[in-house]
Structures are given as C-alpha cells and as structure tokens.
Amino acid sequence: MGWLEVFFDISVYAYLLALIAYTVWFLWRGPKPWVSGTVLLALGAACQVAFIIAMGAVAGRPPFSNTFETMVLFSACVAGFYLALLWGVDWKPLAPGVAFAALLVSLLAYVPMQDELDPLVPALRDNLLLTIHVLFCFVSYAAFLLAYVGAITHLWKNERHHPGAVAALALSVTTLVAGVVLSTLAGTTLWKDSRGAALAVAALGAVVAAGALWPALFFGGRKLRIRDRLPEEETLQKTVYRMVALGFPFLTLGIITGSYWAKQAWGRYWGWDDKEVASLVTWLVFAAYLHVRLVPRWRGTWISWVAVAGFWCVVFTFLGVNYLLGGLHAYA
Amino acid sequence: MDTPPDEPAEPRNVPSAMAILASTRTAVVLLALTAVASLVGMILSDPVAAKYIYGRLWFHVLLGLLGVNLVACMVWRKRISAGRAWSLVMHLGLALVLVGAMITLIYARRGAVQIFEGKTVTHYIIPGPRPGEHATVPLGFTLKLVEFRLQYYPPVDYLYVRVPDRCAPDRYRVVPGRDIPVPGTDATLTNVRIERAPELSTSFRYDRETRTGRLRVTGDNGMTWTIPADVGSVSKLAGTNTAVEILRFEPAFVMDLETRKVSSRGTEPTNPAVRVAVYDGDVKRRGSERWLFASRAMPSSGPMLHPARRGAAALVAEAVTPHGTKDVYLEAGARATCPWFPGARVAFEHAHRKIKEFESHVQVLEDGHVVRDHVIRVNDPLTHRGITISQGDYDKRGLRYSVLGVSQDDGAHLVFAGFLATMVGLLGRLYLKPALRELQKRPSEDGGGSGLA
C-alpha cells in the first residue's frame, strides 16, 4: 500500500500519545492533558478515516473485505464513537480505557496487514451489501467495546462490595483473552519479518503491561483513591446501557443484512455457519443483558458481567472464528 | 436512548405456569441456554453440530420455548399502551422469525442441479433422509444452461518466498521496475523485470585426443554456456536458475533394443554419449534425464533443455542483502532454492488470474418457449415461481457444466417480515420511546401542559 500506510502509522502514534495524555489527566487532572488527549484521539480517528477512504479509492471497492481492513474500521469507530458521544455524558474517566482499546486494536491490525489491496472474491462483489453489512457489524462491535470499558470500570467501582477479586479477575481474564488472540495471530501470520516481529513484541508487551497494570491499579489504586475518581455506579451503568442500546440494533441490522446476503449468494438465509452462530450468540448475550436490566434483583455487578461476556463473544465472533474455526466467512 | 427500566411489575394474580412462561427471568434463562447450545455447536462445527445440536429435537424445543416465552409475554401483558407497543412489535417480529424458521425447517427444500452447456433440466436433486440417498424434485419448468463462463481480474505476477520454520510462504506482487522488499530474508529485490526465459539447446562435444567432453548450451537470446562433461558434476548456468548434472558417460554407446539396457562396446570413444539431468535450482526437473551424443549422426543430439516450458516467463532481478548482491533468475512455474537466503525456497508465478465472477447464462422455458433469460452470478440469483437458483459450483477442468443451488423456501418471507418488525420495535423501544418520554417530561417540568400524554 506504500505511502497510504503513513496515515495508519500516524493514527497508532496518536492513540499512543492520547493514552499517555489521558493517563496523566486521570492521575493528576488539569485541562491541558485532557485537551491534548482528545485532540490526539481525534487525530488518530481522522487519520484512520482518511486511510479507509484512501484504501477504498485505490482498491476501487469498499475497504472492508479482510481482517486488517475491518480492524482499522473497528478502531476508528471506537475512537470516533467516544468523541461523538463525549458531550452530554460523564465519559471522561473512561478516556484512558478507550484510548488503550483503540491503540490495542490498531496494533493488532498490523498483524494481518497486507502489502497490497486484493480484489474481491466473487461472493463479496456486492459493494452496497458489503458496505452496509460490515459497517453495521463494526459499529455495533465498537459500541460493545465501549460498553465493555464501562462495565469493567463499573466492576472496579463496585470492588468495595465484592472484595476486589471480581474486578481484578475480570481484567485478568480479559487480558488473557487478548493474549490468546494475539498469540493465535502471531502463530499464523505475524512472525514473517523483522518489522512484524517488532510490532508483535510491542503488541504483546502492551497486553502483558495491561495484565500487570490492571491489578496494580486495583490494589495500588486503593491508596491513591483512584476508584473515587471514577463516575458513580449509576452513571457507569447508564453509560454501559447506552452503548449496548446503540450496539444492539446495529448488530441486529448486521445479522439481518448478512441473512439477506446469504439468501442472495448461497440460497439460504441461515446455515449455521460459524460466523453466523457466533453473531447469534453475541446477539443472545446482549439480548439477555437488556432483559437482565429489567429484573431489579439482577442489576448491580451481574449486569456488568453480562456486558463483559458479550464483548468476549464479540472478540470471538470477529477474530476467533476467522483464525480458529474458518467456515464460509474464512475470507473475512 | 436513556431509559430506566420501566417494564411493568409482573402481575401476581395469574396462574403460576403462565407467570413463569411469560417472565423476564424465563426469557433470560432461555436466551442463555440457546446461547450456550449454539456456542457448543459452533465449537463442534458441521457436520457434528448439525447431527448433535442443530438437528436435534431438544434444540428445536428450546427455540420453541423461546417462541412460547415471546408469545406469552405479549399475550399476558394485555394492556397495550403506546409505550409498550414497541416491545410488542419487537417481540412479535421475533416470534415471526421463529415461525418462519420453523416453516423453513419443515417445508423448505434445498438441493442442486448440474447442467451441461446447451442442455436442459427439469428436476433438481435434494439429499435423502439417509446419508448417500438422494431424491429428485421437479422444478416445474425447464432450465437451460446456455453458457458457463468465468470472469477474471487482470493477470498479476507473484513471487513466493518460504522462509524456514514458517508454515506458509509469503507472497509478493511483482511489478517490473518496482523494488520488492522481502523482509523475511532481509533482502530487497531491485532492477526487477520479467523476461522470456531463453530456449536452450545443448550439444555434446568430445575431444578424442584429450579424451574430454564438454556440453555447449546455447540460448536463443544469444547466451552460451560451456560445461565440462565430468560424471557426477553439477554445473549451474550462470544468470539462470538452471543447472545440469552429468549422470553417466559411455565412450561407445550401444543399447540393447529389447531390454533397452545401455552399455559400451569398449573403451575406445567410437560413439561417446553422456546422460544428463536438468535441475531448476536444486529440484530435478521431471522427465529431464536424457542421452546426448557427440556424433552428429545420432538423431537426438542437441535436445532442448526446456522442452516443457519453451518461452516461459522468468523473473530477473538483483537481490540486495546486508551481505552483498546476488543475481536472481526464476522461471515461472519452477520451485527453487532461494538464491539470496540459505534454506529458503522461492517460486515465481506468472500471469496469475484471480476469478472475478462465475456466470451461468440460463434460460427458463415453459411450453417450449423462453420466458426468462438471466445470467446467474454469485450475488445475483434467479428466482422463478418461488424457486431460487443460485450459483454453486462449476466444472473446473473444462467449464462444460455449472452446478446451481436450488432452494424453495416459503418461510424466508416470514423471517424477513419478522426481521423488519423486530427492527422497528427495537428502534422504537430503545430510541423513540425514551425520546417521547423526554418530550412528555419537559412541558410538565416547565409547568406547561402534558404534551403528548
């Protein structure tokens, strides 16, 4: 892709700097780090949008046909959503988590990065369906990621009532999942060159650092009273709900458009293909979330756990199926 | 969008079975059970999952219970307010999806038909109840395949490099004049060009005085190579990927025509001949072993070294590595050792054509007349009289026939209608309802009228 990659590289550095700025703001407050972080996050998102548009222009097709291209879309959606929804909601304390998520997704995107933009296989040669189906899915994934960040924060906030272990476990397991995904990717395509290896080490380092950082934040954070700086429980729950309420209709639309496309291309709207089932499982988990919220006794940490489980399903739907199971969506 | 839970408290004066069936808790449990069953099915994958999960009665009962829960939820909560209507529409949509799926499960037929070009079919084949069994079903019309064709993207050239300990080779696109970084081998190919591989002819010369022989290889591009005919020696033709091995020498070649066994009449070089083999890199070219004769009278003298790939394309470049520069010459189709990185393997693929589209040009005939003329593509099936015909497979050897998928599914319409209702209900429930509530609240907060109330 040559010079196009510069856009993507800039976005990764921007997310990294945004993470640093937001972390500084979180620990010491002050308007400057906050503004810097927000500008950098916006720069990263803008560069990724520009990269997506440029890829589409060069390839002459929607740039959503493989794992790399969709990962770029994913991270752009995460950062873009956060910025778009920043006003009117008490989102600020989640900023470091969002920047970290956007950075991690972007770093992971280097793994399946290709030197050239392949033409579409016959099954994908429907620009309209390809665009809306993938966009719907990844808009929902991004919303679910933000819901996940909120749910994790909620578990952290709730640590007082569930002596620490709950939130620590959530983050440790999550980090483990990220590590598994990363090593899976590393085993398939990553270790092919010195640049890829360096990036792999960087990404793996980020995951390990996250694994080490979160427990430190939990237990060390008690002394620093970091938890007191987090939004109120109700605000966090509302935030998670808003994100699920945003992602769920988009996921439904993604499944519906996928069904319609499958009917066109394969003559049936549902075939229990791995990707289809994984999407269904994700949909069922978030449907359960929306119902759990209606049962007063099940609110509290339970509901956040459902949101966490829902995002694990998203990760598996997106990456796990591609790399571990295959199926009719193997090209994705 | 911000909606605190406002579902009505569940009535207490109802039969307990109904209360359980219609409860949110039951919905959550059923959703969780369906999710777990589907997850297990996904891990098992087809065909095991179809046999033990998706095709089993208990799984269908589970989905049925989910449907019952949806309907019970709608029926039980009889009081339909404007606010609750959205939930009702959403649940009705989901119930429609489940009913449509049930119709699909029971009545839908999915099969295939293989048609040769110019031929017609009136039936399609569906799988029978037992493995290996088939049944034929009438289409209700005649389907003719006029032509099957493939569309390709413009051809491209690829270099494949397989580095040791890597499970798969890396692919690099070859564009003349454009450098190719091959990071796995710490090299960059420069001065890249694609040339026609020279046609090589070989002659064997034998000096009876010195009793030494040599091969002279001449390319039609003017290049020549001289190789000593020492038995056991392997000589590389500089600037190419080709090498010649001298396998055997017979000073007075003679062959037993019955056993085809070769030997020498004596030690005097009356009919000197060498047996050679040709290598692409270090891989011996299949069928390349042959005898070369010094005597011009022998008919097989001067064989072509490239009989199978006469005029093939070759990738010519220079590999710049930290240890220096190496010439690269790779013929299309040949696999060879990597000239610049020990242990790696390389191959050059010339004019690779990626399939862009499968096209089955078909006609639908009724009473001998053509009523439909359609080109079926992957994303453009033909639907006629409720039967959808989509592109499936094709004859990969000669493009003589096309395999078309045939499906007849009346449940699909209901499923898509259900999808539509679900989306309308979902958007109404999650967005419109809270927005309307906000509108209702504001005037009352301001001390004004009740607005939409």
A103-130 pLDDT per residue, tens = 988 887 877 777 677 888 888 888 888 8
- Give, for all 453 residues of chain B, the pLDDT tens digit: 444 444 544 555 555 677 778 888 888 999 999 999 998 888 887 778 888 888 889 999 999 999 888 888 877 765 656 667 888 899 999 999 999 999 998 899 899 999 999 999 999 999 877 777 888 999 999 999 999 998 898 888 899 888 876 666 788 889 888 888 887 788 899 999 888 777 777 788 888 888 888 888 877 777 788 888 899 998 888 777 778 889 999 999 988 888 888 889 888 888 899 898 888 777 777 667 888 888 766 544 344 444 334 557 888 889 998 888 888 888 887 777 888 888 888 888 888 888 889 999 999 999 889 999 999 998 899 999 989 999 988 888 778 899 999 999 989 999 999 999 999 999 998 888 888 887 877 665 554 433 322
Among residues 331-350 of chain B, which lie with CB inside 8 Å of chain A?
Answer: none
Contact (Cβ atoms closer than 8 angstroms) between residue A138 and residue A282:
no
Chain A CB contacts of B379 under 8 Å are 122-123, 125-126, 129, 261, 264-265
Does a structural domain hold residue A331? no
Quick check: B183 and A192 CB within 8 A?
A: yes
A59 contact B CB<8A? no
Could you report how far apart the first and last alpha carbons of chain B are, in Å?
A: 19
Q: How confident is the model at residue A18 (pLDDT cuts 50, 70, 90)?
A: very high
- pLDDT, position B5: 46
Q: What is the pTM of this model?
A: 0.77
Mean per-residue pLDDT, A198-224: 65
Give CA–CA dist A143/A139, Å, rounded: 6
B52 contact A CB<8A? no
- pLDDT, position B439: 80
Question: Minimal CA–CA distance to B423: which of A21, A36, A10, A253?
Answer: A253
pLDDT in tens, A23-43: 888 887 778 888 999 999 999
- pLDDT, position B6: 47
Element (H, E) at B95: helix B82-107
- pLDDT, position B360: 93
Structural domain total, chain A:
1
Q: Which two tokens stand for residue B174?
A: 């070859």
B322 contact A CB<8A? no
In sequence order, which residues have a C-beta less than 8 Å from that of residue A135 and are 6 or more positions away? A64, A73
Among residues 127-166 of chain B, which lie with CB inside 8 Å of chain A?
Answer: 153, 163, 166
Among residues 107-166 of chain A, which lie with CB inside 8 Å of chain B?
Answer: 115-116, 118-119, 121-123, 125-126, 129
Quick check: A122 and B35 CB within 8 A?
A: no
Chain B CB contacts of A192 under 8 Å are 163, 166, 170, 183-184
Q: Suggest the residue from A1, A193, A275 to mutate for an interface test with chain B (most B CBs closer than 10 A).
A: A193
Does a structural domain hold residue A256? yes
Give CA–CA dist A108/A319, Å, rounded: 11
Mean per-residue pLDDT, A209-220: 65
- pLDDT, position B59: 92
Quick check: A192 and B357 CB within 8 A?
A: no
Backbone phi and psi for residue A12, each to the nearest 5 degrees, phi listed first: -65, -45
Does a structural domain hold residue A332? no
Quick check: B419 and A281 CB within 8 A?
A: no
Nearest residue in chain A measured CA to CA from B29:
A288
Please give the single-letter amino acid code of residue B222: G
Nearest beta carbon to residue A274 from set B42, B172, B379: B42
- pLDDT, position A43: 95
Measure in Å the smallest separation between the Cα of B191 and chain A Cα atoms: 18
- pLDDT, position A253: 96
Which structural domain, as residue segments, surrounds residue A194?
2-325
pLDDT in tens, B363-374: 999 988 999 999
pLDDT in tens, A68-107: 888 899 999 999 988 988 766 667 888 888 898 899 888 8
Please give the single-letter amino acid code of residue B45: S
The mean of the pLDDT values for chain A is: 81
Comparing A212-221, A298-307, B19-28, B152-161, which segment has the lowest mean pLDDT?
A212-221
- Where helices occur in B152-272 by DSSP H, the ranges are none
**Cβ-count burial of A51 within 10 angstroms (0-12 exposed, 13-18 middle, 19+ buried)?**
buried
B432 contact A CB<8A? no
Q: Is the ipTM of this complex over 0.85?
A: no
